[in-house]
Each structure stands twice: as C-alpha cells, then as structure tokens.
Copies of this chain bind each other. A is one copy, B any other.
Amino acid sequence: MNHDRRFGLARQVALPGPLRLDGGALLSPVEIAYETYGTLAPDGGNAVLICHALTGDQHVASPHPRTGKPGWWTRLVGPGKPIDPARDFVICSNVLGSCMGSSGPALTNPATGRPYAMGFPVITIRDMVRAQGLLLDHLGVVTLKAVVGGSMGGMQALSWAATFPHRVRACVVIASTARHSAQNIAFHEVGRQSIMADPKWRGGDYYADQDPPAAGLAVARMAAHITYLSEAGLTEKFGRKLQARDAKGFGFDADFQVESYLRHQGLSFVDRFDANSYLYITRALDYFDLAEEHGGLLANAFRAGQARFCLVSFDTDWLYPTLESRHIVQALNAAGRPVSFVELSSPYGHDAFLLEAPEMNRVIHGFLEGGA
C-alpha cells in the first residue's frame, strides 16, 4: 500500500455557492477538501464518487497526511481492486460539517472572521450531497459511473440517487440504512450530551485556546464504538481477559482488556476529530429519513433516473441491521429499479465494511463489471 501516495492528490477548493441548505440557510463559500485518483476519461464515463462515514475523510486510498496511516478503504479502492484508479476517476470529498478541510464549525465564518463554531448551520445528508454536486460541477464530472459508500457513506449514495437521479448510473450502499432508528438517535444523543456537558465545550467556542472538550468527545466515541462492533466480536476479541497483570486490581484502572481498548479508542479519536463536527454530523445522521423527504414513501425516492443498485449488509451489524437494507430493497423493487442485495457473514459487526472482506469485494466488482 506504500505506493498509494503516488496517485493521490490532496486538494481543497472554495466554491462561491451560495448553497441553499435544507435548514434554510445559505452557505457561501462552500469549501471542499477532496482527493482524486486516476484520470477522468475523455467521455467522462469513468467517474466514481466514494462517500465516507461519520468520522471518515477524503483520504480513501492514500495515506492520511497527518497520521501517515494508509487510506481508509484501500481494501476496495486501489490498483487491482474493484475500484481502480488505472480505470476509474475516483473522487472522495470530506463531507460538509466535518473537520478535514471542508466547510464546518472549525472553519472561518467570513461574516465574522472567526470560526463558525455553533454558528455553522445545521446540515443534512442531502446538504452533504449537494455540496458534492458542486464539487463534481467544478471537476467537470456530469454523471457518475457509480457512487459508493458504507454506513453514512451509504446514506449519501442513496441520497445521490434520489437527489440527482440523472447523474448516477450505479449506486453501492453498504452496511447502511434509509433512516435513523430511535436507537440510532439515542446513541448519538448520548454522545452529544457527553460533549456538551464537558465544561470545556463552552457553547462550542473552544477553538481560540486549543483546549477542546476532549473528555466529553472521548466518552462519545467510546459509546459509539460499542455500536460498531458485534457482541460476538467483542467476546471473541476480548471476552473477560484481564490486562497484563494476572488478577483483578480491585480499583478503577482498566482491569479488563476491553476497557483499555475502549479508552484508547476514545483518547486517540480526540486527536483527529473536532467535537463540534461530531455534533453536526451526528445531527445530520439523525435527521436522515429518505422516505420523509419523498412524501413518506421510500419508493418515491427512486422512481426517477436509471441507476442500478447494489446493497450489502453484514449479519452481525446491529447498528444498521440487515432488515434496514431489506427495507431499501423492497422500496427499490416497488420503484422498479434493478437491485442486487447480499447479506454477508462476518464476526465484526458494523465495522466489517472497513475490514478485509473478500466477498464484499467480489460482490462490488461483479456489480460494477456487470454494468460496463
């Protein structure tokens, strides 16, 4: 994977907008940080948009510039992979509201000269998609060979097919849902309350002194992280195994390996993510209900356009369980859209879509090839 860097090209653009958001606000400029890999074909027919998940970024197939870690989906995107820059023009942009260079609470509000903080408008998944639409316009991409995403990325892919039906030829939706359930909302609300209860949050105005609400954000991440893993996976990986010491400590240090692991997940997250962005993006996720945007009937979201669909779920994913994918498939059937759907078996819960998943690769490869 070390040669990924050679075909990744970090970019940022400030588009004038204004972008009218679902909440009514006008956003201008619309700053978008993105990466592209490969070259747009003369006929423009090889563009593939990859959409990232809640805490993801644009570095899908090249190392993260700060951490040096490989791109987050090199298992799917790269030389010899189902999405291959040698053939495809791959685009991945940081979503609106995030903190990797796109417009969000940490960026400067041109009206004040200070960070937006909580003055940033509340956004939706559809707003993220519209911003991506502006980016594609900027890049000269008219239609997409495919839009591909897992988790929140899958929601964007669905929203792409619904919002720009004539710009999407294929849509790949992995481990995702067409709407956030009460339990999904509940977990996110715990995270938001944890951040906002941290005295260092200060109503979101914490950028000046580099002293963010790290403790609250770490707890939010810990709670969310549990939902990304399966119960069986946690048992297999940690069970009740103790830390290096061979007996219980009868104190409140991390005794069990799973405690230490979770604490590490929380602490390492605060180094790479902005607490306010976490508030905004979880809000966008909780607001997501594709049927509601289309008169209450999900099938209505898919009646226009010619896109083919591919859905993948994982049997141990309890965040967005297979049933949610089935609902989408039923709506696609009702709308008369071609759809292939497979539930894959994995011990890793929701996180499976980011891990080694040869079957997932075969399914996506076959689906994308089938449309060529």
Contacts and interface: CB of A to CB of B under 8 A. Distances in A.
Interface of A: 22-24, 118, 121-122, 179-183, 185-187, 189-190, 192-194, 196-199, 215-216, 218-219, 222-223, 226, 229, 231, 234-235, 237-240, 248, 250-252, 254-256, 258-259, 262-263, 266, 279, 283, 286-287, 289, 292, 318
Nearest to A196: B252
B240 A186 contact: no
A24 to B, nearest CB: 7
6 contacts: A24-B250, A181-B231, A183-B234, A189-B259, A193-B263, A219-B219
4 shortest A-B CB distances, which residue pairs? A23-B250, A197-B215, A182-B234, A122-B250
A234 B187 CA distance: 12
A179 B234 contact: no
Contact of A252 (B121, B183, B192, B198): B192
B222 A193 contact: yes
Contact of A240 (B219, B222, B229, B289): B289
Centre residue among A121, A252, A292 by max chain B CB count within 10 A: A252
Given A189-B258, A190-B223, A192-B252, 15 more contacts: A23-B250, A118-B252, A179-B240, A182-B234, A183-B229, A186-B226, A189-B259, A190-B219, A190-B262, A196-B252, A197-B198, A197-B216, A197-B218, A223-B223, A248-B287
Copies of this chain present: 2
B186 A258 contact: yes
A186 B219 contact: no
Given A121-B250, A256-B286, A279-B252, A238 B182 contact: yes
A20 to B, nearest CB: 13
A259 B197 contact: no
A85 B226 CA distance: 43
Contacts of A226: 183, 186-187, 190
B283 A252 contact: yes
Contacts of A216: 197
